[in-house]
Amino acid sequence: MSWVRTEMALAEPAPAGERGAYAWVRKNLVGSAGDVILTILGIAIVAWILPQVINWAFINAQWTGPDRTVCTTAAQGGIQPEGWTGACWAFVNAKFGQFMFGTYPVEERWRPILVAILFVALLVPMLIPRVPRKGLNAILLFVALPIVAFFLLLGGVFGLPVVETSRWGGLLVTLSLSFVGIAVSLPLGIMLALGRRSKMPIIKWLCIVFIETVRGIPLITVLFFASVMLPLFLPAGVTFDKYLRALIGVSLFAAAYMAEVVRGGLQAIPKGQYEGADSLGLGYWQKMSLIVLPQALKLVIPGIVNTFIGMFKDTSLVLIISMFDLLGVVKQNFADANWATPQTAKSGLIFAAFVFWLFCFGMSRYSMYTERRLDTGYKR
């Protein structure tokens, strides 16, 4: 005599003690004695920091105002009560144009804005996987846009007045430096990585020496090199734009790091792929561009984006060779006597930090998304 159940039993709901807010709190906050201590510690940290931050950044903050009086206490010559501390967003508000464009002439600022609009219009379809015609899009973004932007920003053609690069500044410099740096360093890095794995000893050793030297020294030294040594390297009378020198320094630096990332990808491709390409009769460049690189680059997308993020952050160092990127302009404006308050530096820096953070965080999130999307073969 036996009884066999014919239909599957329905899943029972989890026991009451394992469900709901109570179980969640028990599991995640007060699981053991140590956990309770940690939770109390955590609450203490949050309770100590968060109200201060909110008070400073929002509740006590001054959003608009003509000059330093709105951000200083009565004793310091302002209108605020004694003991007041809060963010001086009025400073950021007043200097916003400078933070974005530096000393780019106000009546010409439509030009960088137009470039920014073009950039966004080309970048957004590039980033959405479903939009077709990626090839055309890439050519427009990485070839046509830099040329258009160059003439539009610098001027001197079509009746546009010339704006020297010494007048560029702020986010304009940060973004243009890092965009060109990205567009130059990726192909250069790929070439260096291929060179490092080349069978020709001289090319291989040249690449190794270049990569290891650049990776061993700080970016500031590279920038010093670019700003002090390059003029010495050229014949007398030939001068180089300072912006261009910084661009060369940043691109060379990023290319060396990029080369190591790409090399990691190249090494991860099984030998059979190289041999398969050889047996099909493909030449070196066909083998690399059709078989090896598409697989290798896909593997190292996180590394490539990390290098981009690193480079984006590193563009802030150009202020050391007295160029004014976003951070440089913010720092330059601390010296403005009209806005000299104890809160100015903190407010300006936190605004700059927020802008940098937004771009870097966006890039890292997009790379995580791409990684998941392209994750077709290697993970089970």
Partner 1 sequence: MASQEILREEPSRGSFINDPRIRGLFFQTLVVILLFSSIWWIVHNVIENLQRLHIASGFQFLNSRAGFDISDTPIAYTSDATYGRALVVGLLNTIIVAVVGIVLATIIGFTVGIGRLSHNWLIRKICTVYVEIFRNIPPLLVIFFWYSGVLAVLPPPRESYHLPFGSFLNQRGFYFPRAVWGDGSWLIGAAFVLALAMAWFVARRARQRQMSTGQQFPVFWTSFGLIIGLPLLAFLLAGMPLTLDFPKQSTFNLTGGFWVKPEFLSLLLALSFYTAAFIAEIVRAGIRGVSKGQTEAAAALGLRSGPVLRLVVVPQAMRIVIPPLTSQYLNLTKNSSLAIAIGYPDLTATAGTVLNQTGQAVEGVFIMMIAYLVLSLVTSAVMNVVNARMALVER
Task: Give bridge partners of residue 73 from the DSSP assignment.
Answer: 80
Q: Judged by CB, which is closer to partner 1: 151, or 284?
A: 284
Q: Judged by CB, which is closer to partner 1: 152, or 343?
A: 343
∠ CA 222-227-233, nearest 5°, is: 95
Interacting residues of 122 by C-beta distance below 8 A, sequence separation 6+: 137, 140, 141, 145
- Eight-class DSSP state of 228: I
Rounded Cα distance, 112 and 142, in Å: 17
Task: Give bridge partners of residue 325 from the DSSP assignment.
Answer: 170
Per CB under 8 A, the list member of 75, 228, 244, 268 interacting with partner 1 is 228
Per CB under 8 A, the list member of 13, 66, 132, 216 interacting with partner 1 is 216
Helix axes 344-374, 326-333, angle to 10 degrees: 170
Q: Does 31 help bind partner 1 (rule: CB under 8 A)?
A: yes
Q: Does 352 help bind partner 1 (rule: CB under 8 A)?
A: yes
Q: How many residues bind partner 1 (CB under 8 A)?
A: 58
CB of 42 to partner 1, least distance (A): 4
What is each CA distance from 73 to 80, 92, 209, 320, 364, in whole angstroms?
4, 19, 58, 34, 41
Collapse the DSSP code of 3 into the 3-class scheme (helix H, G, I; strand E, B; otherwise coil) and give the result.
Answer: coil
Near partner 1 by CB under 8 A, which window of 108-116, 125-133, 159-167, 341-349? Answer: 341-349
Per CB under 8 A, the list member of 53, 143, 217, 244 interacting with partner 1 is 217
CB of 345 to partner 1, least distance (A): 4
Q: Does 208 help bind partner 1 (rule: CB under 8 A)?
A: no
Q: Does 350 help bind partner 1 (rule: CB under 8 A)?
A: yes
| Exposed/middle/buried for residue 146 (C-beta within 10 Å: 0-12, 13-18, 19+) | middle
Q: Does 148 help bind partner 1 (rule: CB under 8 A)?
A: no
Check: CB of residue 74 under 8 Å from CB of residue 80.
yes
Residues near partner 1, by CB under 8 A: 27-29, 31, 35, 38-39, 41-43, 45-46, 199-203, 206, 213, 216-221, 224-225, 228-229, 231-236, 309, 313-314, 316-317, 319-320, 327, 331, 334, 342-343, 345-346, 349-350, 352-353, 356-357, 360-361, 364
